Amino acid sequence: MSTHEHLFAIRLMQHLVVPTFVLDPEGRVMIWNNACERLTNVSADEVVGTKDHWKAFYPEARECLADLVVQERIEDIEKLYATHSVKDDVFVGVRAENWAVMPRASKRLYLAINCGPIYDDDGNMIAVVETLRDMTEQKRAEEALQSLAHKDGLTNLANRRSFDISLEADVLQARRRGDHLALLLCDVDYFKPYNDTYGHQAGDECLKKVAAVVGEQALRPTDLAARYGGEEFAIILPNTADDGAFQVAERLRKSVEALNLEHTNSLTEGRVTMSIGYVSVRPDDHIEPSHLIERADAALYQAKQSGRNQVKGYQSDN
């Protein structure tokens, strides 16, 4: 390539609408185009000739995709990028996606990254080109759809499908570890008369307030609060024995009572209350998720039959 052609290629790359930067075989920035400046709020003057390009994307030093190609460390891509693809011939190019903090731009973006080497006529690597595409809107839309698939639209708790999946996984894990697993089933007392008295819109608002209290009892990352159906809620408590399950259930019952939501047609206390049944077992090969649901439901039935606004536990032999 002549000098004129080389300068033209550099100028062309500078004005590409796609954010692009180029590293030399030592990992120093050769080109940091205008679109890359706009995306990162880092000027070419700051990074060209340096290995400081990571500062545009991360708060602490770490390799970018182009660095892995320069260093021929493609096997490390899994450590740095949750989403990636490597072609059969890795030196043709690689692709990855991840969230970048973008410290100078003061924003967090989800970037799709394509990267490939450039060789001279003798097969020597002379540069590595990385291009970037802002996929933030698409990623957030995707996450929102995933969230909708697992959350109840009214209460924002986990939905029944998510509950079923989690309970099955938690039973398997408790079985492997020999841990206890607790399940609470909760029912808003006399909710049909509440709807008949105050209307369905007020009923929805009531469920939202109760759901917020239910969600507060799922204190640990492994706990799951869900809308089980209608006015019924559930809480899965991994690694929780009988005493712990009772404490959570009683705290929840008192918290719903403390909302002090008027319910003139309730046969308990003139306000919204909740009945709760719970079970805690150490699952063996014979315990399935359906068994926990049946036992917690039996305890809930007992709580209702005993006057409601109560907590009852199912006594297991495990």
Centre a 10 Å sphere on the Cβ of residue 307 and count the other Cβ atoms it contains.
Answer: 11
- Reference 20, options 106, 154, 177, 131; nearest CA is 131
Element (H, E) at 182: strand 181-188
Is 262 assigned a catalytic role?
Answer: no
The residues that bridge with 32 in the sheet, in sequence order, are 21
Q: Which two tokens stand for residue 49?
A: 């000739």
The residues that bridge with 314 in the sheet, in sequence order, are 279
Catalytic residue among 5, 231, 269, 294: 231
Burial class (CB in 10 A: 0-12, 13-18, 19+), 4: exposed
Q: How far apart (Å, rounded) are the C-alpha atoms in residues 3 and 98?
A: 37
Longest dimension (CA), the chain: 92
181-188 vs 94-100, strand pairing mode: unpaired
**What is the chain's length?**
318
Q: Which two tokens stand for residue 282?
A: 């150490």
Q: Which two tokens stand for residue 29?
A: 């920035």
Catalytic residues: 231
